[in-house]
Chain A
Amino acid sequence: MNILALESSGLVASAAIVTEEKLIAEYTTNFKKTHSQTLLPMTDAILKMTGIDISEIDAVAVSGGPGSFTGLRIGSATAKGLAMVLDIPVISVPTVDALAWNLCGSADLVCPLMDARRDQVYTGIYEFRDGKMICLQQQEAVSILDVIGQLNGLGRKVVFLGDGVPRFRASLEQNLTVSFAFAPVHLAAQRAGTLGSLALQYYKEGRTQTAAEHHPEYLRKSQAERELEEKKHEK
């Protein structure tokens, strides 16, 4: 069971091959090149390096959103193209869930923060119990103060990760009443290895899609649609 995992929801581009036994290969860059230029060449590089032919891949896992709209679509279109030709399923893993899975086994609450612009974060709240990840707050787009309020209410220590940390660090330090920590750099951002590992569970649970069905979940409407709704509201 070879899963090819693709992650391009944020600044990181990452590709990995994951089986039930091991993470065979992972290639992660956090660099300025566009995902269109990196994602497929990185995939090709790890396949070549490990001598696995693309036809030996059994499912394609992809970061299903939220994230950069364009980044999500590059990952999604790549997954859809590969899965359509190879006639294999797509496993769409919620981006924030996959980020939380980076800290699998944490005794504290885990709260990924992705900078969603417009003074919002894409976030969720997770805990780990008996080796299982339990979602206390499903991924959503909210203001940082909303998340902080929720965490203060839960009253437990929390670990933060994600590209929203530097952006909102000051606000966290100022407003949190619970103790908190930040993940180290190697666990702080999206990684395809983590995504693939979580995707394996999804696969076993039958949570797969066809290549045609799959599209990203943005958690946010386009600006034009929001403005149109606001206009209608004013009338």
Chain B
Amino acid sequence: MNKDVTILAIESSCDETAAAVVRNGREVLSNIIYSQIDLHTVFGGVVPEIASRKHIEKINPVIEAALKEAGIGFADMDAVAVTYGPGLVGALLVGVAEAKAIAYAAKKPLVPVHHIEGHISANYIDNPDLVPPFLCMVVSGGHTHLVVVEDYGKYKILGRTHDDAAGEAFDKVARAIGLGYPGGPKIDRAAKEGNADAIAFPRAHIKDAPLDFSFSGLKSAVLNYLNGCRMKGIEINTADVAASFQKSVVDVIVDHTMQAARMTGIKKVALAGGVASNSALRAAMQEACRRRNYTFYRPTPLLCTDNAAMIGSAAYYDYMNGKRADLDLNAVPGLKLGQY
């Protein structure tokens, strides 16, 4: 097969309306993202109905911009790809209905893509030499998965969270210490001014599931610490709390990833998802890999957040594997990785 495969990809699972054109899974011809974050900040988190309303207003201009920047028309694409889960059902449905209609009217195949598969595949775009198998730690506002990418489109989950996602813990702690939403970048920034060893927050390890995660206990520990300070009239050092909390999360994530590498013998380690743009996590994972002579991969920060280029990358490999969706494709908010 020497023919180029050009895919129009659409992503609307949360609060980013995004479209991209990707060639052969690795070459991004355009990557348009309309972020709604300012709309949701006043509510302290993403409001599903507001997100869905914004998606329907923005989706056509975003798609048109992606095609224009790539310099192609609907007739030039080989397939349409869309995120169909997991995510907010109302938000997903906008992208799914739109993508199905586009594929139908343009008479092109439709490729359904798992959102997390997209995040993992963002690594293919920024790391042309990366090929499976590799380990990938996916950390975002909704997901915490330690995954073995056995082959393109073939995943084995080694560890997952039992309660909050890592990014969710960042948001909740950021709110508690008055940093506001979105918590990830705000804690990252505040932590740079703080002492990460100032407060000893717990690192949760789950019995019989050494690679799984739990962040709700850590979140409670932070809240208890803050309450304790307030009751005793001790002044709270926001930067120290942010840094200590962040270190606790980073330590667990890096530790579990390194354990997984040791167990599987895989020497290639990648990060993915919104929290993968956290500077402390990137630095710690890089250092841990360097010490063990593992190769470390991560997407650029732009491709860590929700975007459609990553969906177009994942879709290419699914397309080559013959995966197609019918006109009755539905959004699946609780879609599991590797379940189709």
Contacts and interface: CB of A to CB of B under 8 A. Distances in A.
The answer to whether A and B assemble together is yes
A54 B59 CA distance: 22
Nearest to A224: B47
A82 B90 CA distance: 20
A215 interface: yes
B39 to A, nearest CB: 10
A228 B90 CA distance: 21
Given A84-B64, A85-B106, A36 B53 contact: no
Contacts of B57: 215
B27 interface: no
Interface in A39-93: 39-41, 43-44, 54-55, 69-70, 73-74, 76-82, 84-86
B105 interface: yes
B96 A36 contact: yes
Given A69-B52, A74-B97, A76-B56, 14 more contacts: A41-B328, A54-B104, A69-B53, A70-B89, A70-B90, A73-B53, A73-B56, A78-B101, A79-B101, A81-B105, A82-B102, A85-B74, A85-B102, A222-B50
A36 B61 CA distance: 22
B243 interface: no
Nearest to B96: A36
Given A222-B49, A223-B49, A212 B64 contact: yes
Contacts of A41: 326-328
Contacts of A215: 53, 56-57
A224 B51 CA distance: 11
Contacts of A70: 52, 89-90, 93
A216 interface: yes
Interface string B29-48: 00000000000001100010
A79 B94 CA distance: 11
Contact of A73 (B63, B93, B102, B107): B93
A21 interface: no
A173 B285 CA distance: 70
A81 B42 contact: no
Nearest to B100: A40
A-side interface mostly: helix
B-side interface mostly: helix
A84 B60 contact: yes
A228 B105 contact: no
A211 interface: yes
Interface residues of A, number: 35
A36 B56 contact: no
A218 B56 CA distance: 12
Contact of A86 (B59, B61, B105): B105
Nearest to B108: A85
B43 A228 contact: yes
B99 interface: yes
Nearest to A70: B90
A201 interface: no
Interface of B: 42-43, 47, 49-50, 52-53, 55-57, 59-61, 63-64, 74, 89-90, 93-102, 104-107, 326-331
A1 to B, nearest CB: 18
Which of B43, B47, B106, B327 has the most chain A CB within a 10 Å cutoff?
B327
B98 A81 contact: yes
8 contacts: A36-B97, A40-B328, A41-B326, A77-B59, A77-B94, A82-B105, A222-B49, A228-B42
Contacts of B105: 54-55, 81-82, 84-86
B101 A225 contact: no
A37 interface: yes
Contact of B328 (A37, A80, A223, A224): A37
B93 A74 contact: yes
A77 B328 contact: no
Which of A54, A74, A86, A211 has the most chain B CB within a 10 Å cutoff?
A74
B104 A80 contact: no
A34 interface: yes
B50 to A, nearest CB: 5
A44 B327 contact: yes
B52 A80 contact: no
Nearest to B62: A212
Given A77-B94, A222-B47, A224-B50, A40 B56 contact: no
A78 B49 contact: no
Which of B52, B74, B104, B331 has the most chain A CB within a 10 Å cutoff?
B104
B101 A82 contact: yes
B52 A78 contact: no
A69 B53 CA distance: 9
A82 B97 contact: no
Interface string A15-38: 000000000000000000010111
A203 B107 CA distance: 26
A216 B90 CA distance: 14
A218 B102 CA distance: 24
A82 B59 CA distance: 13
